[in-house]
Amino acid sequence: MSFKLNPRGSEERKYITKAGIYEMVVKSATPSFLPPRNDFYVRIALETHEGETVFADIFQKPEKNGSHSRLNDFVASTANEAEVAKYIAQGEINLEGIDGEEWVKLVTDRAIGRRLKVKVTERKYVKKDGTEGVAYQGSFFYKHPDGPELPF
């Protein structure tokens, strides 16, 4: 059994509690599977310069319309000019046969610490106790007007 040390320990985290468009920085990306279909996805933690957090999920599997628009928007929003040129020169990026670890590196590892604009939306759900809850999630990604690599 093992664990990875967080030198800051537990910190109280502030969460976004209102829908809107926020300037954010990519803090982390955690791979996971969604049962029952075992769809592979990456949960991205995003943070405002006020320290408010929201999460966004990007799936490896195509969306219902067959596209990867959320994936494309995230990559385009966090890519610098050299990366954009490389992706365009590469042509179509084939996601078939890429394992989860490799996919996370392709999509998110280079984005950690980069900034972008994120549209946060509200989603209602039913809690285990039967009451209604509200969750906020990062839903749409836009390139920051000053670029992804400058600090706040």
Enter the pTM of the model.
0.82
Instruction: Categorize the per-residue pLDDT at 10 as very low, low, confident or very high, splitting at 50, 70 and 90.
Output: low
Domains of the chain and CATH, by start: 14-142 (2.40.50)
The token pair at 113 is: 């610490």
Judge whether residue 56 has pLDDT over 70.
Answer: yes
Judge whether residue 36 has pLDDT over 90.
Answer: no
Determine the pLDDT at residue 74: 93
Angle between helices 69-78 and 100-107 (to 10 degrees): 50
* Digit-coded pLDDT (tens) for 60-95: 777 788 778 888 899 999 999 998 898 888 887 776
Q: Which long-range contacts (CB under 8 A, 24 or more apart) does 78-84 make?
A: 78/26, 78/110, 78/111, 78/114, 78/116, 78/141, 78/148, 79/110, 79/148, 80/147, 80/148, 80/149, 83/110
Determine the pLDDT at residue 130: 93
* Digit-coded pLDDT (tens) for 93-143: 776 666 666 777 777 888 999 999 999 999 999 999 999 999 999 999 999
Q: Which of 43, 40, 39 is nearest to 26 (CA)?
A: 43
